Amino acid sequence: MTHGVHSTLYVELRQHPEKFASYVQMSVETFDDLLARISEQIRCQDTHLRRSISPEEHLIVTLRFLASGESLTLHFQFRLGISTISGIVWTTCNALWDCLLEEFLPQPSPELWLHIAEKFQEVTQFPNCVGAIDGKHIRIQKPTHTGSEYFNYKKFFFTILMAVADVQYRFIAVDMGSYGRTNDSRGFRNSVMGRRIYSGEMGLPEPRAFPGTDGPPMLLF
């Protein structure tokens, strides 16, 4: 670990914000904020045999993995075993989810949906829009005992990330895990998020008429 990226370049990268952002895909300030939020959850104890991997290295390894998706390259860059990197990414992602969920992906309220609709109307002149929905196919290794359920027409195994975003491209709700062979519309309808929307459990406001019209309100999916 004494010859890895964290030991040899981390401090130097922090002195060059543009290079740091290019490497970890975020600013030094954002990195420090994330680290402060999760450091106690990912901190490990030193042993008699070796020193533990620091929270800073946990986070920078995870961010590089999320940016590149490559374990083998990180194995050489950080002088860490591939299984060690897998454990670091798993625990750090869980810590990030636990710490950030309530603040950045809270349960939407009718007031929040109406605020989003106002912003869509202001920026795009698209009335009564409370979110933009799309799906992203994420390439994965075939889960055990799943047959061809995650097999996509592109001849890879995929799972689907489905998200609702506001007009500023910020996620309002996310769902991940639908079968890769499922198209976006079916994946949305069958997802937990989709089922909650159709069953009225997402706090959506009541339908209302388009601005400047007296017609009946419309609810479209």
Residues 92 and 119 in one domain: no
Q: For each successive 10 residues of the chain (221 residues), what is the average pLDDT? A: 74 90 92 95 79 89 88 83 90 94 89 93 91 83 75 76 91 79 72 85 85 65 49
In a domain, 217, yes or no: no
DSSP output for 96-115: HHHHHHHHHSPPP-HHHHHH
**Where is the domain boundary, 80, 103, 126?**
103
Residues 192 and 132 in one domain: yes
Residues 114 and 191 in one domain: yes
Burial 169-186 (b: 16+ CB within 10 A, else e): eeebbebeebbbbbeeee
Looking at the structure of the chain, the number of domains it has is 2
Residues 150 and 174 in one domain: yes
- 138: three-class secondary structure by DSSP: strand
pLDDT at 166: 94
pLDDT at 180: 59
In a domain, 191, yes or no: yes
In a domain, 183, yes or no: yes
pLDDT at 2: 61
pLDDT at 35: 95
Residues 83 and 114 in one domain: no
